[in-house]
């Protein structure tokens, strides 16, 4: 039986939900009048230039449309409309790796975004063009995203940790016209480079016309004549005003690539009105954002968390968002707490991996700082274990802050399942209940609700405004990936790829992916992508990778490799190094293998399917419970177990 933690109500002045009755009232309102309730919220929250005609168009399901024919501009929603009463309020507070600071007011943000938008226009960027943003965590990355939104260009931010190959794949898939990057930035006191990665990625690529380079660390870089332009040089000549494009609710806003269980990464497509409505609403509901708050989300803008909760959500809500270039543990274990003290941060949002690391290297560090400004502590990206939760609650939050364990995905655009900080009684490790308007249910493939304590499929059984619209260039894959697994009342419903359980009180407990996606430090990696990279090594005949529980990163990557010549079974340090170099080149360092086992074969069924469940159990050191007699070669399991034991992995 889990302990229950009740909100410290005195921390919350006028929250969106004061208690669970208010939560239930809104849930019921949605049940009674789904479209009407969404329409009310959309009318209240969005500055429309022309009203929408239909709330939800289901005529071409599952390609749902929301707020059709409504006209708006997301940059206007995030900036212009705040100028009336917030022009001198800090929109973005930025801190560099070395402690350098920049404060950008809403008026300054307006100017910077307009100038960037004009710069892009001068390079020929038009509504609907794709712009790839490969940037460090500097304010210009946010300016670039908003500049695209202003002129109707579709941005695709690629995380700066991805390799040239991974960047190239994403540039080609989106047929990007422009790449925005920086020479590099700083990390742990040292400069690192991005521009050379872009140069490499663009070898043999025809679609990209211009590369805009923000000079951040002023290291030596190569300039390609006619292609590369300096942001620093061009921006000074741009006009401070740039008219915004009138956008339709269903015009694309951005693409964000994410891993699936098979094949290449998917370009998840989000559109305008539904996305920005939910980004803003969840800031108000889940983070209780108030006018004087300073909100800090530690994600990188290359992930959906950075999109929704560093840039779009906080700015749409007219809040102050803190953006950080550096590493939470540099120059010492107190960096994060020092920043919370200094900026009087009110909401701190990070990943369990970061919490576990901060706990491990400095369990008592938070006590040295004044963290009393905090009201809400957020977590996202992976299940949080009780030890990390307890430390976060007791030591960082000093036993008073509400912890919001937010479950959501790149595809959902914003939070789906989360406590409401002033209302929900919390059980550590549970994301608790679906937010009002979100019909998240744990069901079987036929739509039957799972009884308590039985694992089922975590599905969203009604379309919602901020949902993925399609996979860029591959609508069939969109349908099969998300709407091919479960049905309710005979109608295909969105399946998240996660398993989950209700407890006897109806709380939702996420058990993790049920597909072949590994979650390392909250980063989604497809086994197929990693295997394809490893397969490129000339000595590799076959490979299967699985996730293994890891004390800090949640999961780590375990590779079983069959070599072409079966001589060196067991360990081969040199080979491991070479394989990891290939992975770093093909995907990026985030996908490196932690544990290797060179094995004589893989456990396969007679039809050739690799039995990953067996490999997962071996990686975890668990007993094999399945019947292995039906395998093509049952003896291989024993051999693999022996090898894994002898390697002391
Ligand atoms: O498995 C779930 C896990 O992260 C996946 C989504 O990954 P991504 O699209 O990269 O987005 C991460 C940030 C929103 C989910 O399918 N996940 C996310 N949040 C939680 C979680 N697992 C458990 N608890 C969470 N709070």
Q: 187 and 85 in one domain?
A: yes
**Mean pLDDT per 10-residue section of the chain, whose length is 649 residues:** 91 98 98 98 98 98 98 98 98 98 98 98 98 98 99 98 96 98 97 98 98 97 98 98 98 94 88 98 98 98 98 98 97 98 98 95 97 98 93 98 98 98 97 98 98 97 98 97 97 97 97 90 90 93 94 94 76 89 95 94 88 92 85 90 81
Q: Give the separation between CA 60 and CA 62, rounded to whole angstroms.
A: 6
Query: Which residue is closest in CA terms to ligand 1's atom 22?
Result: 382
The SS3 assignment for 247 reads strand
Nearest to 640 by CA among 600, 588, 581: 600
Residues 509 and 523 occupy one common structural domain: no
**Domain assignment present for 539:** yes
pLDDT of residue 570: 58
Beta-carbon contacts of residue 233 (< 8 Å; ≥ 6 apart) = none
Ligand 1 mean position to 55 CA, how many Å? 28
Which of 463, 478, 513 marks a domain boundary? 513
Nearest protein Cα to ligand 1, atom 8? 409
- Give the separation between CA 64 and CA 470, rounded to whole angstroms: 9
- Chain-centre distance for alpha carbon 296: 15
Regarding whether 234 and 146 lie in a shared domain, the answer is yes
Residues 545 and 605 in one domain: yes
For residue 571, the model assigns a pLDDT of 64
Tell me how far apart the alpha carbons of residues 483 and 45 are, in angstroms, rounded to a whole number. Answer: 30
The protein residue whose alpha carbon is closest to atom 21 in ligand 1 is 382
Cβ neighbourhood burial of 376 (10 Å; 0-12, 13-18, 19+) = buried
Is residue 23 included in any domain, yes or no? no
One domain for residues 244 and 169: yes
Reported pTM: 0.95
Domain count, the chain: 3
Identify whether 297 is part of a domain: yes
Task: Report the candidate in 600, 597, 595, 631 with the shortest Cα–Cα distance to residue 613.
Answer: 631
CA distance 523 to 180: 23
Q: Based on the fold, state whether residues 500 and 534 are members of the same structural domain.
A: no
* 340 part of a folded domain: no
**Are 71 and 195 in a shared domain?**
yes
Are residue 158 and residue 294 in the same domain, yes or no?
A: yes
Residues 219 and 303 in one domain: yes
**41-49, long-range: CB within 8 Å, 24+ apart, which pairs?**
41/277, 41/281, 41/437, 42/67, 42/70, 42/273, 42/277, 42/465, 45/277, 45/280, 45/281, 46/70, 46/72, 46/77, 46/273, 46/276, 46/277, 47/72, 47/76, 47/77, 47/81, 48/72, 49/73, 49/246
Query: Closest ligand 1 atom to the C-alpha of 512?
Result: 1
Per the domain annotation, does 320 fall within a domain? yes
Question: 429 lies in a domain?
Answer: no
DSSP 151: H
* pLDDT of res. 568: 60
Which of these three, 285, 302, 327, is where a domain ends? 327
CATH of the domain at 576: 3.30.300.30
Q: Burial letters for 224-254: b for 16+ Cβ neighbours within 10 Å, e otherwise?
A: eeeebbebeebbeebeeebebbebbbbbbbb
Domain match, 544 and 642 both = yes
- Domain extent, residue 106, equals 33-264+271-327
d(CA 422, CA 171): 43
Ligand 1 mean position to 462 CA, how many Å? 20
pLDDT at 58: 98
Mutate to test the pocket of ligand 1, among 380, 428, 508 (most ligand atoms within 8 A of CB): 380
Q: Are 604 and 476 within one domain?
A: no
Distance 384 CA to ligand 1 centre (A): 11
b/e map of 362-373 (b: 16 or more CB within 10 Å)? beebbeebebee
Q: Do 507 and 524 belong to one domain?
A: no
Residue 116 lies in a domain: yes
512: region left, alpha or beta (phi > 0 left; psi from -120 to 50 alpha): left
Q: What is the CATH number of the domain that holds 493?
A: 2.30.38.10
Residue 493 CA to residue 436 CA, distance in Å, equals: 18
Question: What is the enclosing helix (H) or strand (E) of 184?
Answer: strand 184-187
| Last-in-domain residue among 305, 327, 349 | 327
Residue 356 lies in a domain: no
Sequence-ordered list of residues with C-beta below 8 angstroms from that of 150, at least 6 positions apart, any chain: 73, 75, 76, 113, 114, 117, 242, 244, 245
CATH number of the CATH domain containing 174: 3.40.50.12780
Give the contacts of 587 (CB within 8 A, at least 6 positions apart). Answer: 162, 163, 165, 166, 525, 529, 530, 533
Q: What is the pLDDT of residue 403?
A: 98
Q: Which residues line ligand 1 (CB under 6 A)?
A: 258, 304-305, 380-383, 405-410, 431, 496-498, 510, 512-513, 519, 524
Q: Distance (Å, rounded) from C-alpha 643 to C-alpha 627?
A: 20
């Amino acid at each position: 039986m889990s302990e229950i933690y009740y909100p410290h109500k005195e921390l919350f002045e006028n929250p969106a939900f004061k208690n669970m009755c208010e939560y239930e009232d809104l849930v019921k309102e949605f049940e009674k009048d789904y479209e009407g309730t969404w329409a009310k919220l959309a009318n209240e929250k969005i500055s429309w230039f022309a009203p929408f005609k239909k709330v939800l168009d289901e005529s071409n399901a599952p390609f749902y449309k929301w707020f059709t024919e409504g006209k708006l501009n997301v940059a206007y929603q995030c900036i212009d409309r705040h100028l009336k009463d917030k022009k001198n309020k800090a929109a973005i507070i930025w801190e560099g790796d070395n402690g350098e600071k920049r404060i950008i007011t809403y008026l300054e943000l307006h100017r910077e975004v307009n100038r960037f938008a004009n710069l892009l226009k001068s390079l020929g960027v038009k509504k609907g063009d794709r712009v790839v943003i490969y940037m460090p965590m500097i304010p210009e990355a946010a300016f670039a995203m908003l500049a695209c939104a202003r002129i109707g260009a579709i941005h695709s931010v690629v995380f700066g940790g991805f390799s040239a190959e991974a960047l190239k794949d994403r540039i080609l898939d989106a047929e990007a016209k422009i790449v925005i990057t920086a020479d590099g930035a700083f990390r742990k006191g040292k400069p690192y480079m991005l521009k050379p990665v872009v140069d490499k990625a663009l070898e043999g690529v025809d679609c990209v016309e211009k590369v805009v380079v923000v000079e951040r660390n002023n290291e030596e870089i190569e300039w390609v004549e006619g292609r590369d332009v300096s942001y620093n040089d061009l921006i000074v000549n741009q006009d401070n005003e740039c008219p915004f494009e009138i956008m339709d609710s269903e015009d694309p806003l951005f693409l964000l690539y994410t891993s699936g269980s098979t094949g290449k990464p998917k370009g998840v497509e989000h559109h305008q009105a539904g996305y920005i409505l939910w980004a803003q609403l969840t800031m108000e509901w889940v983070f209780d954002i108030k006018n004087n708050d300073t909100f800090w989300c530690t994600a990188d803008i290359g992930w959906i968390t950075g999109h929704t909760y560093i840039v779009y959500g906080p700015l749409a809500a007219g809040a102050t968002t803190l953006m950080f270039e550096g590493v939470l543990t540099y120059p010492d274990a107190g960096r994060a707490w020092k920043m919370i003290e200094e900026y009087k941060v009110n909401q701190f949002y990070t990943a369990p991996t970061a919490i576990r690391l901060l706990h491990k290297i400095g369990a008592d560090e938070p006590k040295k700082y004044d963290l009393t400004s905090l009201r809400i502590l957020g977590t996202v990206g992976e299940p949080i274990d009780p030890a990390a939760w307890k430390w976060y609650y007791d030591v960082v939050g000093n036993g008073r802050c509400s912890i919001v364990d937010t479950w959501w995905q790149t595809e959902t655009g914003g939070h789906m399942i989360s406590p409401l900080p002033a209302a929900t009684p919390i059980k550590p490790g549970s994301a608790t209940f679906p937010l009002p308007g979100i019909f998240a249910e744990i069901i079987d493939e036929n739509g039957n609700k799972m009884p308590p304590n039985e694992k089922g499929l975590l599905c969203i059984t009604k379309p919602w405004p901020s949902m993925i619209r399609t996979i860029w260039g591959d609508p069939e894959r969109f349908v099969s990936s998300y709407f091919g697994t479960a049905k309710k009342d005979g109608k295909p419903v969105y399946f998240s790829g996660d398993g989950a359980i209700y407890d006897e009180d109806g709380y939702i407990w996420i058990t993790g992916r049920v597909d072949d996606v590994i979650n390392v430090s909250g980063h989604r990696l497809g086994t197929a992508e990693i295997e394809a990279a490893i397969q490129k090594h000339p000595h590799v005949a076959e490979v299967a990778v699985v996730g293994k529980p890891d004390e800090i990163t949640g999961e780590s990557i375990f590779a079983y490799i069959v070599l072409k010549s079966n001589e060196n079974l067991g360990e081969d340090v040199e080979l491991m190094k070479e394989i990891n170099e290939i992975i770093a080149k093909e995907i990026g360092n985030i996908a490196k293998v932690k544990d290797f086992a060179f094995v004589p074969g893989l456990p396969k069924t007679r039809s050739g399917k690799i039995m990953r469940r067996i490999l997962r159990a071996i990686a975890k050191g668990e007993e094999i419970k399945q019947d292995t007699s039906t395998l093509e070669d049952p003896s291989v399991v024993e051999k693999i177990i022996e090898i894994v034991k002898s390697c002391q992995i």
